[in-house]
Structure 1
């Protein structure tokens, strides 16, 4: 098996076909940081617009539940199930919004990067995906080490950013201890919002860089060698040798069809050895003579040979044959400038003049 081309030899940009094939196989650039950023944004939205009401409502329910336990009957299993349903419903109401936001954020982050598509090759089981050795190499190989360094760098960057953004959080907590419980809850909410906002800003910078890097790395991985570009061009345009062979076969078939049509001709106009034009004229069929065959040199001689075999009159006229050969097309009527000359020859055949013997030449 030939070795894969190294990166140094991949000097050409990926072609549209290479990119299209990669997309169809599911090989798409994907930033892992974008879904994380979307999740954090969803949490920020929840903290800003939904968290306070949900927490207050849940707090009131739990306070009532814990302060007045005698109001909840547990005499039977039905009572226990009913209580469980009530508690579960209240907790569900508190978290359903945040769960919906997280799901929408995750799906949206993936869709915005690449439209979803079903790729069968991606879901076919492969041994290297479950191989412990392959997994070990992914985790502790060079790529795994680079990913580890990236994760450490992200944590350090976010930590430094947050340390500046929340430098006064301890003072705000001390102030909150002197507030009413309701006001202190708002203070806690504001601190959480600032915390999430700081992480979102830091993550937005990281995700932006990662998106650009992912796209750049993807295009670099798809780069092609000069030989790959040539091979793809041959596939797109067709192998020149094969195309030449196909053209040759097409010309041969056209000649065979043309020679097979000569017996239908009414007359042949020829330059003694170089050109032959076979014409068919039947008044009921067409308004003017039709060219059923024409040829030069060997083809011209073959047309004359077939005409002689079938008793078709041959008229030798050097000037007319040369002129007509350049201007007429097979299966088309002759141009008007040749009407008079050809009409004279047809009259000869029809008996206005003495017709030549079949297969003989008249000059």
Structure 2
């Protein structure tokens, strides 16, 4: 924890930290933004479907207050009357609720996106702790919430007084109007005042949404030690990985050294580079580099070659070309095949000569045919 370790949260949150926080339900959220969306679209829905709802309620009251004797005492007819009366309200009420539901979803997911977490929904003992509750009540976040509440009250109260003054004459005029026009007119006034008051909350949302986004990002920031620990957990301890790479390199070198005794020839620089070559006459293909090395590794290759009577030839240009162009276990490039073929031909002739099966080969040319772009 940053507070416990004394380190400051100066590092940007990693992708893993952001993903883990989303799984825990920790995303940027603005209650003011969600509330503003719901209230504004409720007012819009009231303007769109309010007259139909008011007319439907007026007709329902008129119908239910004008029941005859048979409809009053016959229960089967009562259900039919209820269905007939409330049928006018089904569509406008459904659309009204639908608009509010969509506004609630959009408003609450606009900042931070849609996110559901069982972990966030599960009960936590820390939320039931009285001490932590007191800290939350008197903490910086509580002070900010108090400030927002005061600002909302001042804004809404001020706009409410202004709207009452604007609509004061129309409100008084309602007393001389007759229903149902008075009901529809009063509903229209109420809807426009409701919309105007709801729009005042846009000011609060415009301040709260960026602050909540900034505060959430600030809470996700990590200490340098947390970044290092996460890297170790995800990528592995660098020291352990270096030890593994060193072990793998040593194993590869041991396998490479074990292949030197089977080589047909070792070409050298003569001091800094050594490359061991093998050509399998039973298989079609180019010669293969079975080992290569520089400095100490080159000396080790030569020692093993001497101990196993593998011919060693000095050819600086060819040795450097093979070292830089061919990996261990791979065939030599086609463009070096002519030069290597001359080396192998010399070696094979020398072996036959030593066994008394042929004449001494002519010395190997120092100017082997190596392409200019492959010279190193």
Whether these two folds match at TM > 0.5 is yes
Contact 1:349/1:356, CA 8 A, preserved across alignment: no
> What RMSD in Å do the two structures reach over aligned CA positions?
3.7
> CA shift at 1:127, angstroms?
1.4
Residue 136 and residue 81 in structure 1: after superposition, are their counterparts in 2 closer, same or farther (change >3 A)?
farther
Deviations 1:228-251 (A, max 9, x none): 456556777765544433332232
Range with greater deviation from structure 2 (242-251 or 58-67): 242-251
Once the 2 structures are TM-superposed, how far is the Cα of residue 71 of structure 1 from its aligned partner?
4.9
Q: Distance in 2 between matches of 1:347 and 1:50?
A: 101
Residue by residue, what CA displacement relative to the aligned partner does 1:129-170 show, whole Å, maximum 9, x if unpaired?
Answer: 344554455446554354234223212211112211231333
Alpha carbons of structure 1 residues 102 and 136: separation in structure 2 relative to 1, 3 Å: farther
Question: In the alignment, does 2:95 pair up with 1:97?
Answer: yes
Conserved 8 A contact 1:158-1:202: yes
2:25 aligned counterpart, secondary structure? coil
Matching residue of 1:25: 24
> 2:51 is matched with which residue?
52
1:202 Cα deviation (Å)?
A: 0.5
Q: Distance in 1 between matches of 2:120 and 2:355?
A: 79
2:203 maps to 205
Q: Distance in 2 between matches of 1:40 and 1:293?
A: 77
- Per the alignment, in what secondary structure is the counterpart of residue 150 of structure 1? helix
Counterpart secondary structure, 2:28 = coil
**Hey, what's the Cα distance between the residues in 2 that align with 1:322 and 1:41?**
80
Q: For residues 278-327 of structure 1, what are the alpha-carbon distances to aligned partners after superposition, in whole Å with 9 as ceiling and x for unaligned?
A: 21112442443221112345434543454456x55313426467545644
| Residue 301 of structure 2: aligned partner | 303
User: Contact (CA 8 Å) 1:129, 1:135: kept in 2 or not?
Assistant: yes
Between stretches 258-267 and 333-342, larger displacement belongs to: 333-342
The alignment partner of 1:10 has SS state of: coil
Question: Residues 324 and 39 (structure 1 numbering): CA distance in 2 closer, same or farther, change over 3 Å?
Answer: closer
1:282 partner SS? coil
1:68 and 2:64 equivalent?
A: no
Moved more, 27-36 or 239-248: 239-248
Distance, in Å, in 1 between the alignment partners of 2:5 and 2:69 is 77
Cα separation, 2, equivalents of 1:2 and 1:206: 32
Return the alpha-carbon distance in structure 2 between the equivalents of residues 320 and 355 of structure 1: 27
Deviations 1:171-193 (A, max 9, x none): 21222222332332232022112
1:292 equivalent in structure 2: 290
Could you tell me how far apart the structure 1 residues matched to 2:60 and 2:325 are?
A: 98
Question: What are structure 1's unaligned runs of at least 5 residues?
Answer: none
